[in-house]
Structures are given as C-alpha cells and as structure tokens.
A and B are shown apart, each in its own frame.
Chain A
Amino acid sequence: MRVNPNIMPDLLASMNETLRQEQTAILQLASGQRINRPSDDPAGAATLTRIQDRTSQADSFQRTMGDVQGQYQTADSTLSSVVLALDRAISLGVQGATGTLSDSDRAALSGEVSGIRDQLLSLANVSYQGRYVFSGTAQVQPFVLDSSVASGVRYDGNAGVNAVSIGNGYQLQFNVPGSQVFAAPGADVFGAVTGLMNALDSNSGIDAAVSAVRGAFDHITSQRVFYGNALNQIQSQQTYLNGEKLQLAQQQDTVAATDMTATASQLVNAENARQAALAAIGKVSQLSLFAYLQ
C-alpha cells in the first residue's frame, strides 16, 4: 500500500493542535480559571453566573447586617443609659418621699429630676449615621418639649416600622418607633418623670409617681430584650452567610478553578508532543533517497 508521501500537512496539523493545547493550559494556569469563555464548559459557565449572583447577594445581606448592627448597638446602649437615668430618678423619688425633707430639699430633688428629663430627651433623640433611631419612619426629631401635652414632651415621629432583608425571605425589623419605647400607654417615660417632678414640687402623691417611674423602668428594660434578640439573630445569620459564602466559593472552585497539577502536567505533555513533532519535521526533511545518490 502506497502511503501519502507528503506528511508535512499532518505534522503541521498535529503541531497546531499541541500548540493550542499548550496555550489553553498556559491560560488556565495564569488565570487560575478553567472556564475562561462560556464554550470552555457551557453548563459550568451558566452555573458560574448563578453562583456569582448568589455570592453578591450574600455580600449585600452581610453589608446590610453590618449597618443594622450599628443601629441596634446605638439603640441598645442608649436604652441602657435611659435605664440608669430612670434608676437615679427612682432613688431621688424615694428620697423625696421621706417626710423629714424641707421644701427646699424637695425643690433641689425636683431640679435634679428635671435634669434627668432633659438627659432622657436627648437620649430619645439619639441618631445613628444622621438618622433618628426612635422616630419611626419619619425624618424629624422625634421628641420635643411641649408643656401643652400631659407628659410635657410631644412625639413628632410616627409608628412606622422598617424591615431589611438579611437572607432569602428573611426580614428583620430595623427599628422600634419611639412611641412604643418612650410613650407606651401606662409606661410613658416622660409622663412618669414629669409626674415625679410635679409630685416633688407639690409634695403630694410622690409614692404613686415613683411607682409610675418604676413602671417605665420595667418597660424600657423589656424593650431592650428586642435589641438583644435582634443582635443574636444577626450574629447567627452572619455565621450562616459566612458558611454559605464558603460553600459558594467551594462550588465556584469545583466548577471553574483550574486543577493546577493536572493542567501543569497537560502543559508538559503538550510541550513534549510539540518537541517531538518539531524533531520529526527536522528528520523528515533530511531523509531522501536523493541524498544517497552520487
């Protein structure tokens, strides 16, 4: 059987092929990615876009949680100051209820309680990153001194509640409106403190006023539970999302990352094959019967 005497095209074609393999391997090693174009692995490339989308979503959730956490911590530490202030007001009230005090002593106590009210007012108007923490969804200073209302302090915020997504279908309450925290029916903080002030001034009903302040104290303490719970929720969701991101990163690696050892050995193979092809071409061009005819 006669064979094709011109083997150069075959040799060149196989050299072309090994060169292509070599370049693919080099690209995969350099980029660390097995999928550099969709056609490298169509299903993998499609999966990759979905993984990247979910990773970006998890990043967003985590960023949101970071922001929410700051807000919660501000609110929580504010409420802890409120508790201290109310505690002080209670002991002032108890002091005032002692029958041995003179009018001027009670006036001094009342002045101190008035200072506590001012402190509470500034605590209730606390803001985080430029927005009031206890204004509901309204963008105004929530608590304003107003002698025309019974409690002495007017609430200008609303009862709106915002929620943020911190997971797929996982909504977290973002704020507690000031009306619920400081002006709850039966546990109105400013009403109780103003009542204590008036009781000290008039020296009547001090015990009742003190017990109203105790009621407010208990209410605020119970409100703090919300923030504690929410912070716990954030912590566990952070842990969950970290795990999910790790899983996504692993999936992405499985789908798209270059298998370094395998690719490196492919590169070596391709290089060897090309060297062999080059050697063959060199050899073929030397071999000819003409060379032996003198």
Chain B
Amino acid sequence: MSSLFGTLSIALSGLRASQGELDVTSNNVANANTPGYSRQRAVLVQADPIIIGPLTFGSGVSLLKVESLRDSVLEVQIQQENQGQGQIDAFLTGMRQVEVMFTSSQSDIGAQFSKFFASLSELSTNPSDLSLRQGVLTAAGNLASTFNNIVTNLTLQRQNLDLSIVQDVQQVNALTTQIAGLNGQIQAAEDLGREASSFIDKRDVLIEKLSSLIDVSSIRSDNGIALTTSNGTPLVDGMRSYSLNTQVDASGVQHIYAENSDITSKLSSGAIAGVLMIRDQKIPDLLSDLDTLAAGFEEAVNAAQKAGYDLNGQPAGNLFTAPPAGGTGAAGAMSLFTNDPAAIAASSDGSAGSNGNVAGLLAVHDQLIAGGRTPSDFYSKMVFTVGNDVANAEAEAEASQLVLQQLQDQRGSISGVSLDEEAANLIQFQRAYEASARVISTINDVLDVTINLGRY
C-alpha cells in the first residue's frame, strides 16, 4: 500500500518530466533555423514499479535521455552527392569562362579566318594594289593576335585555377582540424555518458563542407569518425587530422601532397577535382588544339606563299613566322613574318599584275590542314567540344542538384524541426505539466484532511 507522500513524488516526477519535455521543445524551436541541427526528443520511461505483496504500483515517470533524430546512412549519401555537386559546380564555373572565348562574334577565330580569305579574294582582282595587299597583312595580323589573345586568356585562367587549388587545400586543412577537434569533444562527452548530439550536428555540417571540396569517405570507428579520400589517403583519424600540402611541380603547376606522396591525380570528386579537370585536361587539350590549328594553317599559307612571287618579282618567303617544330606553342607565338605588303605572293609568274598565286593562297580555305579538317571545320569542332562540355556539365549539375534536394528533403523529414509539431507538443506538455501540478495540489488537500483528522 503506497503512501500519500509516495503519490506526491509520483506527481513530482510528472512535473519534472513535463518540464524536461518543455525544455526540449523550447530548444527545438530555438534551433528551428540552425543549419545542421537535428531535432531532439525527450525519451520518457516508466519508473520502476513498487511491488507490495500482490500489488504493483507505478512510481511515476523518468526522463531517460534527450535523443537526436538523424539518419547516418542518409548523411553519407548527402556527403557523396555533395562531392559530385562540388566537382560539377567548380567545373562549370571554370568552363563557362572558357566558353566565352569560343562564343561566336565578329572577332572570334572563325570570323578572323573568314576575313583573311575575304581580303585575299579582294586582292585577286587587283593584285598589285598596295592598299589591298595591306588589307591581307592586317587580316593575317588580326588572326594571329586573336590566337595570341585566346592563348593568353586560357593560360591566365589556368593560373587562377592553380591559385584556387592552394586556397581549397587550405580550407580542407582548416576543416579537418576542426573535425578532429569535434571528434575529441564527442568522445569526451560520450565517455562521461553525456549526449553529444550538438557536437555531432556541428561535425556533420563540417563534413558536408569538406565533401564539397574533396572526395571524402567516412568510417565510423571506436574513436569517433575517420575520414579518408576515396583512394585511402587519411584526412582525419579520431582526434588527429592529417593536413595536405601543395607544391609546385616542374611544369609550374601546384600538386597536392599527403605525407610526401602526390595525390593530385587520385582525387576523383569535390571542387578540387573539378578545378583539376579543367587545369590538367580541358585547358591543355584546348591549347594543344589551338597549336595544331595555328601550326597547320601557318604551314599551309607559307607553303602557298613560296609557290609564288612577291610584288618585286622575287620568289616569295613566309607570310607567318614558321611555327615551332611539332607545333607546341604555335598559337601563342603566331605572328607575321613580314610587315611588307609587297611580300604577299600574289603573282605566279613574277609579273606584278599576275594574280595566279592568290588562288593557291585561297585554296588553304579548303585544304585539310589539321587532323584531316579545313581551318573552319577544325575551329567549329573546337566550338562544339567546348559547348558540349559545358552543356553536359549543366545537365549533370541540374540532375545532381535534384538528387541532393531530394536527399535533403528526406533528411528534413527526419531531422527537421516542424514548428507546428512543436506547437502541438507545447500544448500537450503544458497540459501535462498543469495536470501534474493539479495532482500535487489535490494531494496537498488530501494531506491537509489527513493532518487535521483528529481535530474534530
């Protein structure tokens, strides 16, 4: 048989439990917009019953713990999708700048080719006219400087990307250091049997940031969480973080090292991989295509020049400076060999009025000068390649954005704070609190009756 004081303590446990629930609700509401916050829930259990003879009495309620609602598998999926998203976003940002150089305009390489051939066509009707000859020289010079400018811009962009890799690596190091610190705090809290969810939430936010920069796979171990890149380079192990560093290699670009081993080519996703892809593949490919085009064109024009005679009746020399052997660097170094309008080889027989060789120069328009293509075709293939890279990346970015959004929706459905839900809980817990308080005041009345029992 229980006592009235026992009943009082049951009511008190209810009061305490309700207050705890109100605490949790208030914390949820306060953190409704905190990034990475996982909603919490008070876990109530019945207190151990008191057994007296054949009777079992409940002894109230106890607040077992406050737990966070999160799905760690979902977290991993989000991290992975984030890596892909980070990579494609960085790639897209860089390639959009490249794309500008290949956008159709009055002064793109294609237009400059057309203008060069148009100037030759004009020369054909009056081959000894110095102003028409100057027109050909000017068009050839503009073509060369357009090639030069694009090479300069691509090289400059490559340098900027190089710089951003150094910054990204610094950011990775800052994040891994913080994650290792949080691992320590989580471990310490858990060792004392405390709830570490606020630290875990913070750590998840940092891992998400890290995963948008570099490919991360996480392994849960006894001492918190271990992070490695997908090829196994350790980034964080428990309370220890391993920093990456950058070094300039022989060709003048930054390489990423972990413990003296070069992992540059092994990074497969995250923003760093996206930047590396442009720096190490796309821009070098474009530069080499430009070199092939420039060298092929220069050689074809020079060869056509040499078949004819200049205005002075002398066998003609080069129009463009001969490209370097193998063509490497031809686009950047493309320049006129001569500034003398008389040097253009219009004549096929040495007489000043002959235009017989202009047809030979014009024929370069349809000559397969590089990779089995004409100048215009080769350039249009480059336009296609650049456009296609950007268009594909855009489609991928859109798809990845959708997947990420869905995953985040899923996470929100588990971990997100719903204010309506909290409001409903608030009423429920308030009523429970009020009820427990009411019970206490009733017991108080009953006790009052009991205490005054003998007075009357």
Contacts and interface: CB of A to CB of B under 8 A. Distances in A.
B197 interface: no
B365 interface: yes
A9 B406 CA distance: 11
Interface stretch (B78-86, B333-341, B346-354): B346-354
Contacts of A100: none
A261 B387 CA distance: 26
Contacts of A52: 104, 110-111, 114
A49 B387 contact: no
A174 B377 contact: no
A263 to B, nearest CB: 19
Contact of A49 (B96, B104, B124, B385): B104
B103 A6 contact: no
B384 A6 contact: no
A64 B419 contact: no
Interface string A22-63: 000000000000011111111101111110110011011101
Contacts of B354: 137, 160, 162
Contacts of A110: none
A47 B380 contact: yes
Given A37-B99, A56-B115, A2 B413 contact: yes
Interface string B19-41: 00000000000000000000000
A5 B420 contact: yes
A5 B122 contact: no
Interface stretch (A163-171, A205-213, A229-237, A239-247): A163-171
Contact of A39 (B387, B405, B413, B427): B387
A158 B191 CA distance: 106
From B96, B359, B412, residue with most partner A Cβ within 10 Å: B412
B194 interface: no
Contact of A68 (B125, B390, B411, B419): B125
A3 interface: yes
A67 interface: yes
Interface in B103-154: 103-104, 108, 110-111, 113-115, 117-118, 121-122, 124-129
User: Which range contains the number of B residues in contact with the other chain?
Assistant: 35 or more
B417 A293 contact: no
B50 to A, nearest CB: 37
Nearest to A35: B104
Contacts of B417: 5-6
A74 to B, nearest CB: 13
Given A4-B409, A289-B420, A37 B383 contact: no
Given A6-B412, A293-B427, A46 B380 contact: yes
Nearest to B119: A60
Given A39-B99, A162-B127, A171 B359 contact: yes
Contacts of A179: none
Contact of B114 (A57, A137, A139): A57
Contacts of B99: 37-39
B352 A139 contact: yes
Contacts of A13: 401, 405
Contact of B121 (A6, A60, A71, A129): A60
A158 B411 CA distance: 89
A14 to B, nearest CB: 9
A178 to B, nearest CB: 12
B376 interface: yes
A2 B427 CA distance: 20
Contacts of A139: 128, 351-353
A131 B347 CA distance: 16
Contact of A162 (B356, B380, B424): B356
A138 interface: yes
A43 B384 contact: yes
Nearest to B388: A42
Contact of B387 (A10, A45, A164): A45
B383 A46 contact: yes
A2 to B, nearest CB: 5
A165 B365 CA distance: 12
Interface of B: 96, 99-100, 102-104, 108, 110-111, 113-115, 117-118, 121-122, 124-129, 347, 349, 351-356, 359, 362, 365-366, 376-377, 379-381, 383-391, 394, 401, 405, 408-414, 416-421, 423-424, 426-427
25 contacts: A2-B413, A4-B409, A5-B421, A9-B405, A38-B387, A39-B389, A42-B383, A42-B385, A46-B380, A52-B111, A53-B113, A56-B117, A64-B121, A64-B122, A67-B122, A130-B126, A131-B353, A137-B351, A137-B354, A137-B356, A139-B351, A168-B366, A289-B420, A290-B423, A293-B426
Closest 7 CB pairs of A and B: A38-B387, A4-B412, A42-B387, A5-B418, A39-B390, A56-B114, A289-B423
Given A129-B126, A163-B359, 10 more contacts: A4-B408, A4-B413, A9-B405, A38-B387, A42-B387, A45-B383, A46-B380, A52-B111, A137-B356, A163-B355
